[in-house]
Every structure is written in structure tokens, then in C-alpha cells.
Chain A
Amino acid sequence: MAAMEVGNDVQEQCVELLNEAALLTDDVKKVANLKKVQELIIHQDPALLDNFLDEVVAFQSDTNAEVRRAVLGFIEEACRKDHEMVPKVVANLSLLLQDSFSVAVVKRTIQAIGNIYKITLQWLSQARSVTDLMDSAWSMLGQMKRQIISYVDHDNDGVRTMAVKFMEMVVLLQTYSEPGSLKRQEFCLDGVPMTLKIARPRKLEEEARTVFAEMIKFHGSPHISSVNLMACMGSLTLIARCRPSFIGQVISALESLHANLPPTLSKSQVNSVRKHMKMQLLNLLKHPASYDSHRNICTLLTDLGASQSEVARAMPPAEELRKRQRRTEEPPGAADDDTPGTKRQKFVPEDDDDDDEEVPAGRVASGARLAPVDKMKHKLNAIDITETWAAERLTPQLAADLVLVSMQHLPDAPPALFSNTFTPISAAGTRSQIQHVARLLAAQLTKAGLGPGVEATRNQGIQMTDHDWEMEDEEEAPAGSRRPIATVLSGTVTGREAKKKVALLPSGQMHKKHMAKPLRLTEITRPLPKDELEKSMTAALDRLLAAEKAGPRRGTVLRPSQTAGHDVGPLHTAAVGQDAGSHSGGHARPGRPGVQLAVRGVLQLGGLQQLWPGDAQHSQLRADLLHAHLGADGAARLQGRRNPADSSVPGGAGGSRLGRGHPEGVQLGPGHLPAGPAAVWAAAERPARPAGQLRAGAAAAGHGSRPGDPRPGAGAGAAAAPEQRHAGHAGRTARRGAAQVARRGDAAGAAGHRSAEFPHLTVPEGVTREWTDELAKLCLHLYLALLPRRESLIHELAHVYVLTTADVKRTILRVLEAPIRGMGMESPELLTLVETCPKGAETLITRVIHILTDKTPPSVELVDRVRDLYQKRVSDVRFLIPVLNGLNKSEVIAALPKIRLNPVVVKEVFNRLLGIHADTGNFSSPLTPVELLVALHNIDPAKCDMKTIIKATSLCFAEKQVYTQEVLAVVLQQLMEQDPLPVLLMRTVIQSLALYNRLIGLVMNILTRLASRQVWTEKKVWEGFIKCCQRTKPSSYQVLLQLPVDPLREVFDTAPELRAQLRDYVNGFTASQREHLPADVFELITGRKPGEEPQRVSPPPAPEPAAEPPPRLPRARNRKRSKRHPPSSGAADAPMKAIDY
């Protein structure tokens, strides 16, 4: 009696609380009420659960996310309390999992489903017979499970984290406990009887392994965020501690992670991740089952900076280790057979007592399930195989070679991270250290897909793909029932359908009279068959167009159109819209009433938009219509008006389609231009869902304007400015999209890129157009406008750049200038980009550096990064060009031979080096003009084509303002003094002379010097020498006369005319002058002995005898401007005489 009273009391309380909650507008109180009800029902009177479940669950359609989360908490508790509740709520869970309003609800749902999934499996296993209800609930949970697992690729970080935890749960639940497991008193595969048809233990375990492989894959993915990474790491270690058979795989995963941390992590994130990893490894070390991997764990820990004492503390007691060791020394087969057996015996009495007949079957299973374990071992042992392979080869010789080879890739100074984390190798050269190095190498090689381990696993690779899922589905169907069965009513149906599952409807739906629950038409409607769809589509359009002719009566036509929206069903309306849209491009004009009606029809649809959150085609047609037929402002306003009530995503989709549907649409008229900004403003004004709104607005801004129009960018910026966070949203939208392209790869091509910035717009197939310049600019517009405000976006640009087509690349390069200038040279993000230049984006980076350094000298940081990049990663000299001014002399000289690109580039290089177009004020070059030209001459011809060098020198000569006579004189002087002589020396001499006649004195000096240096031994220079003499006659006669007879003969062979001229010249000599000539030379020139008289005397040109003969060797002095030349025959009396300029 008393119990009854208590029950009634509780019931009344609950009724009261629920009624109150239904009327409350304060969400906090509402949640509090629900919590109270939950407390009352679950803990005080569970019998009421059945009565109130529906009432409470009905709150799941509440608009407030917290309330929905409270409902989820209730559902979870209810299922825990009473398993019979599961079938009643699975449908609700499935709805909540799709919750498009709040990510928080989705996360909470995943969490709840995790628990309920476990509970359900337990319930199935313990039930005496499986009812249809259970079957349906289980298969529905299976669907949700697959969906959640697919969420590891979700856009939202938190959802991914929850998905990882869910996967962890699946793995732990669907594997057998092992002797070394952590003491988890939880239900797992041990408790699932073999005879359970709808959930076969073998299948479940196989699935668990697939899921585990997925986790490993996710764990190793390069784009993983730090939170996800740590969550995933934690999950993997937990799995390893609970299921020691996974330890090996987990440790290899950690090893490969340690060797290849995701490049996207920031410095402190790296620290956090390393710390976390250390913690995980210490935990693993504590676990006795990790004994076999102790060596690997310890080396990893040492690498992570763990001290010896930390490691020693985490080691299990020596005694336990010894025990463990003994066990492993037993024959492996015996151990394997033994352990599961003993475990099962231990387990069976506890849980399976009412399933006694199942036990033998379970034993069979333990033998059978060894196979997959072995398979997995092979798969993950690639690192081990490569490790042994590497260890065998790791001799001191090879190690030395490796070090030498990689030496050149080392930076000058150790990076900060390295000095932070480096610990001196204490045990260098020991067996264990060699093994460790081998392991590290193996991890790297395997990651890169190299090495025998990879080969081996590839050969026997096991495909863990979707078909595992399919297999499972097949298995679920009872054997034999898949044969088609003919039924009277509907012809042939498959067995599965024939079985007709119990349809599970969400609870709490009948009480919605007083609840405002959004109408979910998808639940109650079915797509029309295609032909019917088309028929109604055409019919509707015909009606509309006909109505247009009717003109004044359009008001009446409006109604049918509205009815279409409400009654006939959304698809019908979509059909109308679609056709109208297709016509709109052709002949419709803004303001035509019929078309406006069509537009309204489509807008009606907007209300139902949430039904197709991803239906891009649909929103596209709507937007096409909008932008074609309404004033753009109006369109934006309409969009804006709908948005608050509407789900943000489709709103954004619509908005963004505004200008983008047709590129030509952009040209429709100036009235359309403000659409983008207007949408942004609309968004900014609505505080309700700023994130989604702004995303929508930003999308619109990105696409709704003409390239080059600054307004949308400004609008986006302005709207974003008051709330910094909003900029974050817009930015993230853009970034996330870009990341998606990167993930999706080039296959997605144009479509992928188009959705690059706006991933929620999946571009339907067939809608993709060619990528035009225009389109690319449109897409990039918002992105670029945001760049200076949110610099971290630049990284995605690089990824996108790598993946797009050549045309788009060109476009990107072209439009890049303004935003990059906006970011400036000091931008840390830009510097990071330069540092981490992704493969394939070299041109982009070069362009960026160019823009940055154009007209201003590069900053030290920039130069450092570029130098780093150049030295360590991409030896592409194009990077260096823009920062040449920042490099030091030797670096520039080293880089010069590599610059053998087209003359324009070389010209650019010189301009930079010589500061030709730079502002003279702050210009400083590492090289003086002299040094540059000398360096050019010293380029090793083996490294660089001679023609290129010649072209380069010509460029120098062309810069007459820089290469003045004085400068050239210095150059020549310096070149002269080199040994061996530069090949191009004489060419330069001749060129200089051609430019500046007055250099003749110096040239003579050079020629004399060359003669004394036995120039004839160097073939190229010798040729040049002769040429030069030809050009500089008569001044060169003096020089020629200094040559010994053999070289002189050569000269005459090459240039016969010189002989006659020289003869005339010598003939003009006085006798005393002639005496100075060696006899053989004289004979060679004149053809007679020195004593003989010339046959033909030609008058010497105004001899000017030198007073005293100077010493034989001319002193090479650098007197540039000599007035006393040419040293005509006047000096002829002394052929050895110094040419004194």
C-alpha cells in the first residue's frame, strides 16, 4: 500500500515536472526538470519507465540543444536500466544522430549509442530467444555503427574524437578478453554465444579487427589534428592494455607516428603530443604483456626524453617479467592453444550459466579465430621485416656512408625542436643501439613504402575494405533465405525483405501536438519515380508559363504554386523549380510574374530545405532562379530572411549559388553585385546562428561578385571585424574546404576545387563546367580577401594549388599579388609556408617570394627560410633569385651557375643584384658589379653552358650605367690576375674595348701580360688573343712582336693579313730598333735575315724614338686613361719596351 503511494507520488511528480517543462521557455529550467524526472524514474521507480519514456523522449524535438542532450542522457540511462527500452529508442537515436542543428547533440548521440550498442549486444546474448524486435533494433544499431565509424572523416573535430572513442568501444566489445587484459569487468565477446544468429562472434571479431585497422590508419594519417591524434593514441593504448594481442600493432603505430609526426602540428602541439605519447608508452610498459616489445618501448621512450628512472619505475616487477619470459619460451602453439582455453573456462561459469550448451561451440571458436590474428600479424609486421633487413646491413661502413650522404642535407644550425628533444646516445655502437637505429630506419622506410617488409606484406596483403561490411550483411541473413521467393502480391522479392522486419518508429512522436516539432518530410515521403517526376515537372511548368500569359490573374496562380509546395511534396516543387531554372537561362527575364511564381515555388521549398542538407543541385537551381529573376538585394534579403529559421548549411548553399551558378550570370547587371555583401550583412545582423549565417554570407560573398570588385571582400571583412570569432568561421569554412580538396585528390578535378572553399556544397555530377579563368577568380575571391586577415589560410592555398589544373594555377599566380602584399614579409604564416613548401607548389612559393621582395630587400627571416628550403628540400634555384640580395657572397656565387634559365630571368637576377630598379636608398647587394662579372667568368664551363654565360655577360655589358669604363677596367684587371685564365677573358676584353675605346691602353697592357704568360698554351684564350690583336691593330703590333716565333707563326696562320701589316711595320723600324727583335721573329715577319735590306721600303709612320729602352717585361700597371696612345711606330725601336699608358 505504501509502495503504491510512493509510486503514485512519483508518477504525479513526473507528470507535473513534464507538463511544466513542456510550457517552460527557459531552457535551463527545462533541462533541470528533465533531469529531475530522470532521477525520479530511473532511481526511484523504474516501473514508470514504460509510462514516461515517450513523454520524455518527445523532448528530443526541442529546439534547444541542451534539452536534446538531456533527452539523450535519459535514453541512455533508460536502456541501461531496462534493456527492453532499446528497440523503443533506436529510431530516436538514429534521428538524433542526423541532427543537423547541433554538433553537440551528434556528439552526445554517438556517446549514447556507444553505450547502448554494448547494452544491446549483452541483451541479445543473454536473451533466451531473439525476437523480431531485437533483430530490428540490432540491425538499426549496426547501421548507426557504420555511420559513426564513417564519421572519423567528419568535418568537426569533436565528432571525429567521439567516433574514435566509439571505435575503441567496438574493438573492445567485439574481441575476446585475454589473460593479460586489464581487469575490465565489462561485457565483451566472451559473453556472446556462438549460436547468436544475428550477431555471430566470428563476424563481430572480424569487424573489430577491421575497425582497429581503421583506427591505425586514422592514427597515421598526416592531416590528423592534435586532439584527434591524442584521443586516438589513448584509445589505441587502451585497446593494447585490454587486448594484449594488439600490443605489437599499437607499438608499431606509435613508432611510425614518432618518426613522422603530422606536419600540421604547431610547436606546442608537438610537445603535447610527445608528452602524451610518453605517457601512453609508460602505461604500456607497465603492462606485463608488453614484455616482448620492451626493447622497442624503451628506445622510443628514451627518444621522447624519458629518464632512466622513469622507465625503471614503469617496468613491471622483475618477478613478473621472469614469469612472462618462461611463458614465452614454451612452444608457441601450446601457449596459444592454452591461454584462450583456460580463460574461457574461467569465464564460462560467471556469465554463461544459462547457456551451458553453448560452451563447446565457444571452444571451437577459440581455435578458429587464430587465423585472423595471424593474418593481422603479417600485415603489421612490415616494420619488423624491414628492421631485420636493415639491422643486417647496418655496418659501421654503411652507417658512415649514410651519415656522409645525409650530411649535406643538414641545416647550418640545429632547429629548435631538435635541440629541445635531443638526448645524447649513451649506448652508441652496441647491439641494441644498432637495432634501434634499424628500427627507426625501418619505420621511415615502411612509411615511404619501401623495403622488403612492405614488399612482403604487399604480396600477402589482406584487403580490409568495404566488402567486410557487405560480408557481414550477407551473414546476417539466414542461410538459404536469400533465394528469391515469388509472392502473389508483388512478384519476386528477396528473402530478406520477405522476412519483413519490424519497423521501429521513433518514440514520443504521437505526443507532438503540443510540441513544435520540425516537419521531417523525408520520413513520410518517398521519392517519386523518375518518369512521374518529370511528368509533373513539365506539367507544373506549363501551368506556370500559361499563367504568366494570364497576367493580372497571377494572384490566383500563386496559390496552386504554394499548394504544390505543401501538398504535392517537395520533390514536385523541386521539379518545378528545376525546369523553371533551366528555362530561366534562356528566355525568362527578371520581373516576369510567372517566373517569379516559379521562384516563389522554389522559395517555398526553402522552408523544407533542411530535408536535403546536402542537396546542392537543388539549392543551385534555387539560387539560379533567384539571381536571374530577382533583384540581387531582394534575393539576399530573402536568403537572409529564411536563414534564421533555416538550417545554416543550405542557406549558405543557396547564397553561394547566387552568383556562381552561371558565370555569365555575374554579368547580368550591376544590381546583382551587392548580393554577396548584402548576404554577409544579413548574416551579421542575425545573432541567432552567427556561425552558419556568416558561413552562408561568406559563401555568397565569395561567389556573388565580379572578380576585382573589392566590395564582397570588404563586406566580409567588415562584418567579421566586430566579432573576431566570425572571421574564424569564415576562415575555417574556406580552410576546411581546401583541406578537403587536398584529401580528395585531383580526381575530383574542377568540381572538387569548386567546392574547395565550401565543402558543404557537393557539386552534383554533370553540373561541373570547364574551369575558366573567370570562375577560378570568382572562387578565389573571398579566400584572397580573407588572406591578409587570417594568414593561416595560405597553407590550404598551397595544397589546392598542387592539386589543380595548369590553368587554375596560372590564375592563382596572377591574383596572388595583392593579398600577399597585404600579408607582408613579416607574416609568420608566410614564412612557415616557405619553410614547408609542399611538393609541387614550388612555383607558387617562388611567386610569393617574388611578390614579397619586389622593390624591397628581403628580410633576414625570409632569407633564412628560403635558404633552408633550398639547401634541405628543394634545390630549385628559382627560390633563391628573389632573395639573392639577402644571401652572402659565396652563396650567390655558388648559385650563379644554376641560374641558366631564360634571359628574362637572368636579367631579373642581375637587376636585383645590381639594384637597377630598386630604390637606391636602402639597396645593398652582396655582390658589387665587379664581383658579379668576375664571378660570371669563373663559372665552371662544365656546370653551365658557355652560351648562357656569354649571354649573361652581355647583359652586364648592356647595363652601361653600372658597367662603366672604370668598372670594366677593374674587372679586366682582376680577371687578368687569375690563373688559369678565364675562358671568356678575351671576349670580355674585346667587348669592353668595343664599348669604351679608351680602354685600349689597358687592353694593350693585358695583351702584353698575356704574351708574357705564354697565352698560346691556353687554346681558347689564345684564339681570343689573336682576334683581339686583329681588332686592336696597329696598337697590337707591339704585342705581337713580343711573341716568340712559334706562336707568332700561329698568329699569321690564323690571320694572314697581320703578317703583311706587321712586315710593313717592322720595315719602318730604325736599325737600332730592329736589333731588339729576335732574329727568327724578324725573319718570320719579313722573310729575310735581320741584316738584309728590305726590298720595298715603306715609310714608317712618324717614328718617335724612345729615349731609353725600358726593361724587357712591361710592368702591368693599371693606368686607365692614357693619353699617349697609340704607341705607334715611335716605340717600335724597342719591341720589349713597356707600354706605358
Chain B
Amino acid sequence: MKSMGRSKKSFTVQSFGTGDKVKLPGSAPNKPNIYDFGTTYEHIYRDLQEKDRSLYTQNGLLHMLDRNRRIKPGPQRLQECSDKFDVVISCEERVYDQILEMFESREPVDNTPVHVINIDIQDNHEEATIGAFLICDLCTQLEDSQDLEDDIDELLQEFESKAKRQVLHCVQFY
């Protein structure tokens, strides 16, 4: 769901959604809460609080929204962002596909390379925590590299074998 350009431990990072809508878990798997991009976290927070305060406190959603609303006003959509990143990381293959599709549909203007990386992370708290560390780890390595373009292949392979996860990677251009 999220794609990022560098994570928060002293990285410059932004997180994005790539879908058409902002979808958050609801009272049942088939009843997600759906909002448009452009809705503020504040609004979502209030909305959920009204709907079922205890449920959303329990599953940590309110906590997350609370944290998010202090960071930025609302969810952003990658497709609508004009910033340029060095690295975009996604945590689901579907999202990776959407990112690639987005880049493919654009016309490269100045050919600045951007590395798109996918690490599959299941959407639950435990996996997300492990995933966060993994990604942080990877980002540190990428950041430390003196020549990212030249090292990334090797870094990713090392990461793969260390994290025992398959990584998808490709290079796109702004």
C-alpha cells in the first residue's frame, strides 16, 4: 500500500498510496473504510472514532492515524506527486506493478534514474514490524553506497540472501 522514498531514520522519506482510493480495514474484511485521496487524516481519524472507537483503537488504526496526522495532512497518491526520488520501495507486488505502470505511462524528461524495489510484506502488524526493520536496513545500505547505480545489484542480492525474501527491482527514469 505504501511506497516510500527513503525511511525516517534520518532518511528523507515520503510515503504514498498508489491505488485509486484510500482503503483502511473496517469492521469486517469485506467492509473496508474507503476514502478519496485528498481526505485529511484528521477527517479519517474523526470518522473512525465515531464509527467504532474501541475496534479501531484495538487494531491500532487510530494510533496510526494519529501519528500520521502529525506528520502530514493527508494520504498522498504517488501518481500525483511531482517530486523525484532516488529509490521507491513497495511492499506488495501489486503496488510494484502499479508503480511501474505509472512510470511507463510517463514520458521520461531528464532521464534521472529511480530504482523501484519491491519486498513482499504481509499486511499485518508483526510482518510490518519485521518489514520495517528490513527496509530500514536496506535503506541504510543503499544510503551508504557511494555509487548506488553500481552497487545496487549486489546490495539487493546480499539483502535477498540475508532476509530470505525475494526482491523485485527495476530501474525507471524521471
Decide whether A and B assemble into one complex. Answer: yes
Could you write out 11 A-B pairs with CB less than 8 Å apart? Answer: A156-B147, A156-B149, A165-B173, A225-B153, A227-B153, A231-B171, A234-B172, A275-B100, A276-B170, A280-B104, A691-B146
Beyond the given A157-B149, A268-B157, please list 11 additional residue pairs across the A-B interface where CB-CB is below 8 A: A111-B111, A156-B149, A158-B147, A161-B113, A162-B113, A227-B169, A231-B113, A266-B157, A269-B169, A279-B101, A279-B104
B168 near A234: Cβ-Cβ < 8 Å: no
Contacts of A156 on B, CB cut-off 8 Å?
Answer: 147, 149-150
A161 to B170, CA, bound (A): 12
Identify the closest chain B residue to A73 (Cβ): B110
Q: Is the CB of B166 closer than 8 A to any CB of chain A?
A: yes
Q: How far is the CB of A241 from the nearest CB of chain B, in Å?
A: 10
8 nearest CB pairs, A to B: A158-B149, A165-B111, A157-B150, A230-B170, A272-B168, A268-B166, A156-B150, A227-B171
In this complex, how many residues of chain B approach chain A with their Cβ under 8 Å: the count is: 32
Identify the closest chain A residue to B167 (Cβ): A268
Identify the closest chain A residue to B141 (Cβ): A725
Question: For chain B residues 129-174, which have a beta carbon within 8 Å of chain A?
Answer: 144-154, 156-157, 160, 166-173
Q: Is the CB of A271 closer than 8 A to any CB of chain B?
A: yes
A104 near B147: Cβ-Cβ < 8 Å: yes
Interface string of A101-131 (1 = CB under 8 A from B): 0011001000100110000000000000000
Identify the closest chain A residue to B115 (Cβ): A227
B108 near A111: Cβ-Cβ < 8 Å: no
Contacts of B147 on A, CB cut-off 8 Å?
Answer: 103-104, 156, 158
Q: Is the CB of A391 closer than 8 A to any CB of chain B?
A: no
Task: Among A114, A162, A166, A272, find the residue whose CB has the most chain B CB atoms closer than 10 A.
Answer: A272
Given A157-B150, A271-B166: A162 in contact with B111 (beta carbons within 8 A): yes
Contacts of A1118 on B, CB cut-off 8 Å?
Answer: none
Q: How far is the CB of B96 from the nearest CB of chain A, in Å?
A: 8
Contacts of A158 on B, CB cut-off 8 Å?
Answer: 113, 147-150
Contacts of B169 on A, CB cut-off 8 Å?
Answer: 226-227, 268-269, 272
Q: Is the CB of A182 closer than 8 A to any CB of chain B?
A: yes
A186 to B157, CA, bound (A): 39
Question: For chain B residues 75-124, which have a beta carbon within 8 Å of chain A?
Answer: 97, 100-101, 104, 107-108, 110-113
A728 to B104, CA, bound (A): 33
B150 near A234: Cβ-Cβ < 8 Å: no
Contacts of B150 on A, CB cut-off 8 Å?
Answer: 103, 156-158
Contact of B111 among A104, A169, A276, A280 (CB under 8 A): A169
Identify the closest chain A residue to B173 (Cβ): A165
B173 near A182: Cβ-Cβ < 8 Å: no
Q: Is the CB of A346 closer than 8 A to any CB of chain B?
A: no
A184 near B107: Cβ-Cβ < 8 Å: yes
Q: How far is the CB of B45 from the nearest CB of chain A, in Å?
A: 36
A114 near B111: Cβ-Cβ < 8 Å: yes
A1131 to B144, CA, bound (A): 96
A272 to B157, CA, bound (A): 12
Q: Is the CB of A628 closer than 8 A to any CB of chain B?
A: no
Q: How far is the CB of A833 from the nearest CB of chain B, in Å?
A: 16
Question: For chain A residues 154-177, which have a beta carbon within 8 Å of chain B?
Answer: 156-159, 161-162, 165-166, 169
Contacts of A234 on B, CB cut-off 8 Å?
Answer: 104, 171-173
Q: How large is the interface on A (under 10, 10 to 19, 20 to 34, 35 or more residues)?
A: 35 or more
A111 near B149: Cβ-Cβ < 8 Å: no
Identify the closest chain B residue to A268 (Cβ): B166
Contact of A115 among B104, B110, B113, B156 (CB under 8 A): B110
Identify the closest chain B residue to A725 (Cβ): B144
Q: Is the CB of A969 closer than 8 A to any CB of chain B?
A: no
A231 to B144, CA, bound (A): 23
Q: Is the CB of A261 closer than 8 A to any CB of chain B?
A: no
Question: For chain A residues 704-753, which have a beta carbon within 8 Å of chain B?
Answer: 725, 728, 732
Q: Is the CB of A1004 closer than 8 A to any CB of chain B?
A: no
Q: Is the CB of A283 closer than 8 A to any CB of chain B?
A: yes
A275 to B104, CA, bound (A): 13
A269 to B167, CA, bound (A): 8
A728 to B152, CA, bound (A): 12
A279 near B100: Cβ-Cβ < 8 Å: yes
Q: How far is the CB of B170 from the nearest CB of chain A, in Å?
A: 5
A725 to B157, CA, bound (A): 14
Interface residues of A (CB under 8 A from B): 103-104, 107, 111, 114-115, 156-159, 161-162, 165-166, 169, 182, 184, 225-227, 230-231, 234, 238, 266-269, 271-272, 275-276, 279-280, 283, 691, 725, 728, 732
Identify the closest chain A residue to B103 (Cβ): A234
- A to B contact number (C-beta, < 8 Å): 92
Task: Among B145, B150, B168, B169, find the residue whose CB has the most chain A CB atoms closer than 10 A.
Answer: B150
Contacts of B108 on A, CB cut-off 8 Å?
Answer: 165, 238
A758 to B154, CA, bound (A): 20
Contacts of B153 on A, CB cut-off 8 Å?
Answer: 157, 225-227, 269
Contacts of B151 on A, CB cut-off 8 Å?
Answer: 728
A159 to B112, CA, bound (A): 12
Contacts of A115 on B, CB cut-off 8 Å?
Answer: 110
A111 to B84, CA, bound (A): 15
Given A158-B147, A162-B111: A268 in contact with B168 (beta carbons within 8 A): yes
Contacts of A269 on B, CB cut-off 8 Å?
Answer: 153, 157, 169
A651 to B13, CA, bound (A): 38
Identify the closest chain A residue to B105 (Cβ): A283
Given A156-B147, A158-B113, A169-B111: A227 in contact with B152 (beta carbons within 8 A): yes
Q: How far is the CB of B97 from the nearest CB of chain A, in Å?
A: 8
Q: How far is the CB of A81 from the nearest CB of chain B, in Å?
A: 15
Contact of A111 among B110, B145, B157, B167 (CB under 8 A): B110
A165 to B169, CA, bound (A): 18
A268 to B119, CA, bound (A): 11
Identify the closest chain B residue to A242 (Cβ): B107
Q: How far is the CB of A1050 from the nearest CB of chain B, in Å?
A: 73
Identify the closest chain B residue to A155 (Cβ): B150
Identify the closest chain B residue to A280 (Cβ): B104
Contacts of A271 on B, CB cut-off 8 Å?
Answer: 166, 168
Contacts of B157 on A, CB cut-off 8 Å?
Answer: 266, 268-269
Q: How far is the CB of A183 from the nearest CB of chain B, in Å?
A: 9
Contacts of A691 on B, CB cut-off 8 Å?
Answer: 146
A352 to B166, CA, bound (A): 53
Given A161-B113, A272-B168: A107 in contact with B144 (beta carbons within 8 A): no
A283 near B149: Cβ-Cβ < 8 Å: no
B110 near A275: Cβ-Cβ < 8 Å: no
A280 to B97, CA, bound (A): 12
A279 to B100, CA, bound (A): 8
Contacts of B113 on A, CB cut-off 8 Å?
Answer: 158, 161-162, 165, 231
A970 to B156, CA, bound (A): 59
B170 near A182: Cβ-Cβ < 8 Å: no
A269 to B160, CA, bound (A): 11
Contacts of B97 on A, CB cut-off 8 Å?
Answer: 275, 279
Q: How far is the CB of A307 from the nearest CB of chain B, in Å?
A: 13
A161 near B172: Cβ-Cβ < 8 Å: no
Contacts of A114 on B, CB cut-off 8 Å?
Answer: 111
Contacts of A283 on B, CB cut-off 8 Å?
Answer: 104
Q: How far is the CB of B55 from the nearest CB of chain A, in Å?
A: 36
Q: How far is the CB of B4 from the nearest CB of chain A, in Å?
A: 19
Contacts of A275 on B, CB cut-off 8 Å?
Answer: 97, 100, 168, 170
Identify the closest chain B residue to A731 (Cβ): B154
Contacts of A166 on B, CB cut-off 8 Å?
Answer: 111
Identify the closest chain B residue to A225 (Cβ): B153
Given A103-B147, A158-B148, A225-B153: A230 in contact with B171 (beta carbons within 8 A): yes
Identify the closest chain B residue to A166 (Cβ): B111
A1109 to B129, CA, bound (A): 93
Identify the closest chain A residue to B93 (Cβ): A275
Contacts of B104 on A, CB cut-off 8 Å?
Answer: 234, 279-280, 283
